[in-house]
Chains A and B, each alone.
Chain A
Amino acid sequence: MALLEVNELAVTFNTPKGPVYAVSDVSFAVDKGQALGIVGESGSGKSVTVKSLMGLLPRTAKIDGSAQYEDVDVFNMSKERRKHFYGVDIAMVFQNPMTSLNPVKRIGEQLMEGMRFHRGLSRDAAKSRAIELLDLVRIPDPTKRLSQYPHELSGGMRQRVVIAMALANDPALLIADEPTTALDVTVQRDILDLLDSLRRELDMALILITHDLGVVRDRTDSIAVMYGGRVMETATTEEVFADTEHPYTQALQRAIPDMSMPRGTRLDPIPGSPPDLAITPVSCPFAPRCTFATDECRTSIPPLSAVPGSETHRYACFHPQGLVAAASTVGGEA
């Protein structure tokens, strides 16, 4: 059974200029100890999706659909349950570690705060747990760090502290929203490797949100590609890279320069700009930028269809480009 199951999630923001459809019809599941990558650009709805799960959206947000975490209905929790849900069952790591940390409080205090609140640990017990956590996220000299302030640490070290804070109460699911975007490639690799090994060590599920397909490639079990607030394609990570069905997923792969390309290679950009989410969704959000779009794409929303022979691979497109297209051509000829 899935640890977290999200069904037909929709998030609408009511703004003075009218509703903004940030997330529409998003469904996914994460199993215990598994890693899901949510890939998308800004405005794809990936952050809004997880923020809705974390109860971090403003009151102007209208949430529809359901999210079931074990036996908890995430969107209809009692106040008491909520108090010990976030940070205990699900914890989150954000993009910029400097804004996640309080600049005027010592690392130790910030680490201990959550454990003392949720578990009622004594100061001493919390302190030794804090040292244990810093050690777990491979911070050298953890005892000394407890009395330091965030500004005394490098960006990579700060992100490790934030991860340690998130792990303080042994969450079964960790959500990491672009945890390495603000960091250098070399530090990025360290942090991603750390998340990967922690997930295995602690048998924790992970939702990794990123705009970079390369980041999720070697580190997740499954992927959901989002665009314009919708899931475009979802499958196991292996399936997505072996057989990319959605034109957007394909375009995303082609648009990024890659080290194996000779210099001066003309890139294959995705024309146009990301969609305007203030318009009531009646078409495929990618249609205006898609080379394969037809009238059908501009007038109706493609449902998630299954790739024949796979229980996990689904795509929302009228003109799939991978094996599905190849199979239908062969079928047509026969």
Chain B
Amino acid sequence: MVGVGTRSLRPEDAEALIRVENLVMEFPGPRGAVLQAVSDVSFDVLEGETLGIVGESGCGKSTTAKAVIQMPRPTSGSVVYRDADLTSMDKETLRSKRTDLQMIFQDPISALNPRRSVWDIISEGVEIWGTHGAWTDARLIELIESVGIDPQYKDRKPFQFSGGQCQRISIARALALDPRVLICDEPVSALDVSVQAQILNLLDDLKTEHDLTMLFISHDLAVVRNVSDRVMVMYLGRVAEVGDADSIFDNPIHPYTQALLAAIPGSGVVDDGSLSGELPSPLDPPTGCRFHTRCAYATEVCITTVPEFEQFGPDHWVACHNPQGTPVTL
């Protein structure tokens, strides 16, 4: 599997909290075909950093994030958390590591068991890991309060809460195990606009309070810009562009990133038609650069060769044969 390379990874001595190298996720498709969901993706996340992952549906952003917590285990590649490679860990050790890596999901209502009370939902993890954490009931109550839910409602069931409140409960459940890493998969996409900002601000507060490192997946670029230190733009299972969030959003180099930004309503950018057409199937992805079938700048080399990362700024990496900017050597 040829990928865009690992040049975007920070040096070993940067002590990444999560270091994913050459991650491949494949699933069996119909009639013996192979669905190539993630093809050789490498990235790292430093402690306290928020990495935003963006791309259209089917680009592999959720699969990549789930691969970090080995849900399911990747086809190949390594996921190093602190100093341990999660991919080679046995089931029991992995299970205990997972308390450090928690996740919140897009649809907060289906993420919660409808038959259980808020208290049961939030305290279950602590009960299972009882000996590991120093959680007392009082601390759990504090936690429920800290996500903006009145603890007097702790015996209610999820259906008695609004979508925004359910997302707060999911967040409390994730934080009850004192995780180091919070993976947020489209956490505000299903919420009303007036509630989105509440949850984004809450995540921001909790990140500081609990010293969290975050992976933040969203198709909403404005939301990602708001929360991310670094951004990774994915297209059809590969990374197109990765680096410092400001650098990427202010100066997008990859034609795909440029097209994504132009598609935002009210962006004021005239549609040049470069992103017309549909996402090709991951069962039979295009050769070379996977974006070549929809790219306005595609040339012969894009069809034959997978582009490798080149550097366009102190922390700005782009995998493109015809980048819309000038590479730098640092």
Contacts and interface: CB of A to CB of B under 8 A. Distances in A.
Interface in B248-263: 249, 259-261, 263
Contact of A259 (B196, B200, B264, B271): B264
A267 B267 CA distance: 19
A271 B198 contact: yes
A266 interface: yes
Given A154-B279, A186-B259, A193-B271, A273 B162 contact: yes
A257 B245 contact: no
Contacts of B56: 184-187
B15 interface: no
B57 A270 contact: no
Interface residues of B, number: 41
A263 B226 contact: yes
B39 interface: no
A186 B263 CA distance: 5
A270 B229 contact: no
Given A214-B264, A261-B225, A263-B225, A189 B219 contact: no
Contacts of A217: 265-266
A251 B194 contact: yes
Given A271-B198, A274-B194, A259 B249 contact: yes
A293 interface: no
A262 B198 CA distance: 18
A214 B220 CA distance: 12
B229 A263 contact: yes
Contacts of A270: 194-195, 197-198
Nearest to A155: B57
Given A261-B226, A263-B226, A271-B198, A185 B278 contact: no
A19 interface: no
A268 interface: yes
A105 B90 CA distance: 48
B228 interface: yes
Interface string A136-165: 000000000000000000111100000000
From A217, A257, A265, A267, residue with most partner B Cβ within 10 Å: A257
Given A262-B246, A263-B225, A41 B162 contact: no
Contact of A255 (B57, B197, B229, B276): B197
A266 to B, nearest CB: 6
Interface string A90-121: 00000000000000000000000000000000
A257 B265 contact: no
B176 to A, nearest CB: 24
A188 B226 CA distance: 21
Given A41-B192, A186-B259, A263-B245, A215 B265 contact: yes
Contacts of A267: 197, 200-201, 226
A173 B229 CA distance: 46
B222 A256 contact: yes
17 contacts: A41-B194, A154-B278, A185-B220, A187-B56, A189-B263, A214-B266, A218-B265, A251-B194, A255-B197, A257-B226, A259-B225, A259-B261, A263-B226, A264-B227, A269-B194, A273-B164, A273-B165
Given A186-B263, A267-B200, A274-B192, 12 more contacts: A41-B194, A186-B56, A186-B275, A211-B193, A256-B196, A257-B225, A257-B226, A261-B222, A269-B198, A269-B200, A271-B198, A273-B164
Interface of A: 41-42, 154-157, 184-190, 192-193, 211-212, 214-215, 217-218, 251-252, 255-259, 261-271, 273-274, 289
Which 3 pairs show the lowest CB-CB distances between chains A and B?
Answer: A269-B197, A214-B265, A267-B197
